[in-house]
Amino acid sequence: MMRTYAGHSSAAASNELYRRNLAKGQTGLSVAFDLPTQTGYDADHKLAKGEVGKVGVPIAHIGDMRRLFDGIPLAEANTSMTINAPAMWLLALYVTVAEEQAEESGRDGSTDTAEVLAKLTGTTQNDIIKEYLSRGTYIFPPGPSLRLITDMITWTVHHVPRWNPINICSYHLQEAGATPTQEVAYALCTAIAVLDAVRDSGQVEQADMAKVVARISFFVNAGVRFVEEMSKMRAFTALWDEITAERYGVTDAKARRLRYGVQVNSLGLTEAQPENNVQRIVLEMLAVSLSRGARARAIQLPAWNEALGLPRPWDQQWALRMQQVLAYETDLLEYEDIFDGSLVIESKVDEIKKGARAEIARVQEMGGAVPAVESGYMKSELVTSFADYRRGVESGERVIVGVNKFDTSEPSPLQAEGAKAIETVDAAVEKEAVLALERWRAERDDEAVATALAALKSAAGTEENLFEATLTCARAGVTTGEWSGALREVFGEYRAPTGVTASSGGGEAAADLTAVRERVRETGAELGERLRILVGKPGLDGHSNGAEQVAVRARDAGFEVIYQGIRLTPEQIVSAAVQEGVHVVGLSVLSGSHLEIVPEVVDGLVAAGAADVPVIVGGIIPPEDAKLLTDRGIARVFTPKDYELTEIMNEIVSVVRQARGLD
């Protein structure tokens, strides 16, 4: 299965992109939803400002879903949807469109509807545990979130038997700092939590647990350390077979097979010398395709320029062609497992299996994945592991070509002056989405909507499976924000532990950090108080790894750090900055919304009488946008090429001194 992860701007624009990609030989669709959709907000919500259509397609209601798949027969498609907290909602929309397509083609009646549902193939990511640990697009507390997953799995097992209702996703765990052992262990802990919940719900007979296990899929990360990554997947495969046989009594070896897809490591791609990303992507693809016994069933590759911004269609085509060359030109897929019998591989696999078993046991002793999330244990472990990785990069022990070694470069023709190196989303997209939403609400049956939402809330207060109530909402014209809002009223919202306080920042005795600590101390002495920094994540971008590492290093450098986690409005950030009396505000934005929401923080500080508090920003920010931000009053802009955190701390001290007239 060959895919590229795609979607942006609008359902119509994304539909055009999907058709073009399918015509080029792509064999499956991988739908990227925008952040408001992923976090259960409509385009007109204040938190959606600057985020609509940026990192994916906005889907607000059944009309959008119809347009997204216009001309694409869903009974013949294989669709992967990266959606977690509102996964039940998006699948309900998808199922409804499939039923409508069947009716439009002249087939109607309950028998034919069941026939269409039986043909649907694809995957919903729907792994909420990793959202609390890494990606941040959770909505509800862990308990209710696990219930939504359970209800969705049991409904699909009975009605859409070829659909993968959950994609347990270790991909983002690696991006958050997980070692291979942690990635395997925490993903399997999530699988155990989900399967235990399904088994204990009473909605599936014990005899049908094999059907449930057979529809569990995984989505993993493949980094550039080839032997380690390939050994990880062989260990993953063996442990999954062991757990499903021993814990759930599945005797069918085919049902126990680890079924996984891969996106190779996007956050491992570099802004510096981005042409090097091509060979990184190919090597990472080989790590999950060469070992036949642990081979991925589906692969989607990022584009070479994802560290710069949104890829163009040509860039996505290049990524697709990489897979096609491997599949159709080489002989790499024609043989039995070429690593069987290798002592080196066997030793590495055993090492990962041993470590993963120990970590799984540790989490189970805490009560499982949910308590380990709520206590902050898993999050702090990942933050600590990522801090270790960052130290290796900064010290040069871990080499990244073009970044911390071999960094001299000729001008790149791929980024020649005047070339449009990345795709951009028109600012008018958000305004158009809001207007379209207003039209939708004006034209639908409000009474049917109110009835459907009331039934959903009523069911949420019981142990009833919520999928049928969600289907009713989809058919009535309920919006994404309304469906999520109804469940927010019943389940509440949740703020996950940041992992920063409990993480270890030890091992830093380098002279450069010592010098920065002294500058922080001296500057604080001159000001008569300890230096304070607020690290903020405005908007809906939940990729908090960078913000967490900045917070940890700032703490190690002697700053008092205020970090309240993700999903904050500019007003909340300004309020916290003023109340805490900080000396500098650092914002992290990776979703492309920096031009819309970062200046609001500057304006808010000025309006609050705190114009002397400088604002710095870090993220995936093109050079032309960086200039616009500095023109709007941003003191410094850092991008992925600025990998030396201690040097960034030193620069922050300089920013504070300049703002306070100490230089």
Q: Is pLDDT of 509 > 50?
A: no
Question: Which residues, 6+ apart, have CB-to-CB distance to 593 below 8 Å?
Answer: 49, 50, 51, 54, 538, 539, 540, 541
**Quick one: three-class SS letters along 573-633?**
HHHHHHHHCCCEEEEEECCCCHHHHHHHHHHHHHHCCCCCCCEEEEECCCHHHHHHHHHCC
DSSP 128-139: -HHIIIII----
What value does the mean pLDDT take over residues 176-180? 91
Task: Identify whether the C-beta of residue 173 lies closer than 8 Å to the C-beta of residue 373.
Answer: no
Name which of 594, 569, 589 is nearest 47 in CA terms.
569
Top mean pLDDT of 4-18, 261-275, 363-377, 413-427 is at: 363-377
Helix (H, G, I), strand (E, B) or coil at 31: strand
- The residue among 391, 382, 394, 445 whose CA lies nearest residue 179 is 382
CA 649/CA 655 separation, integer angstroms: 10
Tell which wins on pLDDT, 541 or 449.
449
With 50 as the cut, is the pLDDT of residue 108 above it?
no
Question: Is residue 3 pLDDT above 80, yes or no?
Answer: no
pLDDT digits (tens, 9 = 90+) for 399-421: 999 888 998 888 888 876 555 66
Mean local confidence (pLDDT), 49-62: 91
Chain length of the chain: 663
Matching residue, tokens 């399997």: 188
CA 169, 171, 175 angle in degrees (round to 5)? 135
Please name the residue ranges forming H helices in 308-368: 313-328, 343-365
- Catalytic residues, by residue number, are 5, 171-172, 537, 541, 543
Work out the average pLDDT over 46-54. Answer: 89
Residues 6 or more apart whose Cβ sits within 8 Å of residue 361:
none
**Domains in the chain, start-ordered, CATH in brackets?**
163-406 (3.20.20.240), 511-660 (3.40.50.280)
> Using alpha carbons only, what angle is made at residue 537 by residues 611 and 146, rounded to the nearest 5 degrees?
155
207 or 417, which is more confident? 207
Find the radius of gyration of the CA atoms of the chain: 25
Cα separation values, 627 from 272, 616, 636, 637, Å: 18, 13, 10, 9
Q: What is the pLDDT of residues 567-613, one digit of tens each?
A: 888 999 999 999 999 999 999 988 778 888 899 999 999 999 999 99
Average pLDDT (281-300) is 91
Give the whole-angstrom CA distance, residue 460 versus residue 464. Answer: 7
Residue 122, pLDDT above cutoff 60: yes
Q: Which of 597, 592, 600 is nearest to 639 (CA)?
A: 592
Residue type, 192: I
Where are the strands (E) in 265-334, listed by range?
298-300
Burial category of 281 from C-beta neighbours within 10 Å (exposed 0-12, middle 13-18, buried 19 and up): buried
DSSP string, 10-74: -HHHHHHHHHHHHHTT--SEEEEBPHHHHTT--TTSGGGTTTTTTSSB---SHHHHHHHTTT--T
Start-to-end CA span in the chain (Å):
59
Q: What is the rounded distance in angstroms from the CA atom of residue 436 to the CA atom of residue 60?
A: 10
Question: Do the Cβ atoms of 6 and 20 come closer than 8 Å?
Answer: no
User: pLDDT by residue (tens digit) across 218-267?
Assistant: 999 999 999 999 999 999 999 999 999 999 999 999 999 999 988 888 87
User: In this structure, how many other beta carbons lie within 10 angstroms of the beta carbon of residue 266?
Assistant: 17
State CA 545 to chain mean position distance: 11
3-state secondary structure of 646: helix
- Going by the DSSP 8-state scheme, the letter that residue 398 receives in this structure is S
Contact between 199 and 146 (Cβ < 8 Å): no
pLDDT computed for residue 501 by the predictor:
67
Q: Quick one: pLDDT at residue 420?
A: 61
φ and ψ at residue 85, rounded to 5 degrees: -55, -45
In contact, 87 and 124? CB cutoff 8 Å: yes
pLDDT digits (tens, 9 = 90+) for 541-550: 878 888 888 9
- Per-residue tokens: 626: 């960086």
Q: Which of 448, 452, 445, 442 is nearest to 485 (CA)?
A: 452
Distance CA 26, CA 6 (A): 12
Q: Is 433 exposed, middle or buried (0-12, 13-18, 19+ CB in 10 A)?
A: buried
Residue 9 pLDDT:
87
Give the whole-number percent of the chain exceeding pLDDT 70.
96
- Give mean pLDDT, residues 420-430: 74
The DSSP letter of residue 351 is H
The pLDDT of residue 110 is 46
- Among residues 359, 374, 386, the alpha carbon closest in space to that of 543 is found at 386
Q: What is the mean pLDDT of residues 38-43?
A: 95
> Residue 91 and residue 152: Cα distance in Å, rounded?
9
